[in-house]
Amino acid sequence: MKILLCFGTRPEAIKMAPLFHELRKSKFDVKVCVTAQHRKMLDQVLEFFAITPDYDLDLMQQNQSLNSLSASILEKIDAVLLKEKPDLVLVHGDTTTSSMVSLAAFHLGLKVGHVEAGLRTYNKLSPFPEELNRQLVSRIADIHFTPTLRATQNLLEEGIDRKSIVQVGNTVVDALFWTLDKIKEKSYTNNEIALLNNNISFDKKMILVTGHRRESFGDGFKNLCEALLTISERKDVIIVYPVHLNPNVKRTVYELLSNRDNIYLIDPISYPAFVWVMKQSYLIVTDSGGIQEEAPSLGKPILVTRTVSERPEGIEAGFSILVGTDKKKIITAVNAILDNLKDFEQRTNPYGNGDASEKIVAYLSNQFNN
């Protein structure tokens, strides 16, 4: 059985990496195609997880529009699909790469498997454009690998055939545990971790901040930064903020948060370094979807700077709190956690225990044998 894995961003690569290696162990004929929708950040993940793509479309362009990116993916992926003629194309999540590769495969009559299927907000503008990317892939996919019961129920309510849905957990937890084990090895070295450890004092309660969502550009990031300025007045905290390279984010963050003794604005860091920083954190403020799934396994509370999340399980389990980009809500929620954190490390991650890739491969092996 020939399987083609297609992805283009750092989050996709992280979540597909353990599945790639599990497929290889099970002796599937596995090919990898990257669109390089992200370039530098994608390459870091490929190197860390020892993945060498068979095809690299290298499509990243400065300030590229979604429409031009979509057109480029549709045009360039065609030759790969026609050459390989895979039995199954595996895509992940909610990216432009996932939706366009799925559409291209459908046009050629190829089967599509969707990893991390079924997440929904049912608000087409949040997250944008990811919500509609997911829904498009769901209409195309032949196999839906869902991470949670809620995701499975979403698909059933949309009329997806129950026989095509396989609930497995989230592969990001597999990747997280693999990375934690790797960075514990005595032989492993990472210059970024060494620099962070040497240049930042982690003897106070560390707040890790990330942000990149388009819907927060402008006033959203301004409100977040103003909230962080207020929080930084506390003597018991430090704030570490790997600042996204998008100029709509970077400009605002550096204008408002530079030159504060306990706010560390740093360049984006590699995945293993980021996992290490998450491990050191007291709480995380983020608009990321993947971090909402990773942090529970580390026992870390999360403030989600979005008005709605396609990952409600973390909220229901008490790990995540939706605060949007409301300055007052952010300040109040951060102070409440800093002053009253209890029992987070004893809670169970609703997104799985690290065996999602094994379950996916077991299902595919069974289908292939039959």
Annotated active-site residue 130? The verdict is yes
Annotated active-site residue 22? The verdict is no
Annotated active-site residue 131? The verdict is no
Q: CB–CB of 240/200 below 8 Å?
A: yes
Among 12, 22, 116, 310, the one annotated catalytic? 116
Among 150, 212, 234, 260, the one annotated catalytic? 212
Torsion angle of C-alpha atoms 351, 322, 291, 256, degrees rounded to 10: 180
Annotated active-site residue 21? The verdict is no
Annotated active-site residue 260? The verdict is no
- Could you give the strand order of the β-sheet that contains 165-167, starting from the edge strand earlier in sequence? 55-56, 29-34, 2-7, 88-92, 112-115, 143-146, 165-167
Burial class (CB in 10 A: 0-12, 13-18, 19+), 164: middle
Would you tell me the crossing angle of helices 171-184 and 271-280 to the nearest 10 degrees? 90
Among 39, 150, 214, 260, the one annotated catalytic? 214
**Omega prior to 129 cis, within 30 of 0:** yes
Annotated active-site residue 244? The verdict is yes
Among 94, 294, 313, 358, the one annotated catalytic? 94
Among 130, 174, 294, 310, the one annotated catalytic? 130
- Rounded to 5 degrees, φ, ψ at 17 are -60, -50
One-letter amino acid identity for 124? K
Among 10, 92, 144, 244, the one annotated catalytic? 244
Residues classed as catalytic: 94, 116, 130, 212, 214, 244
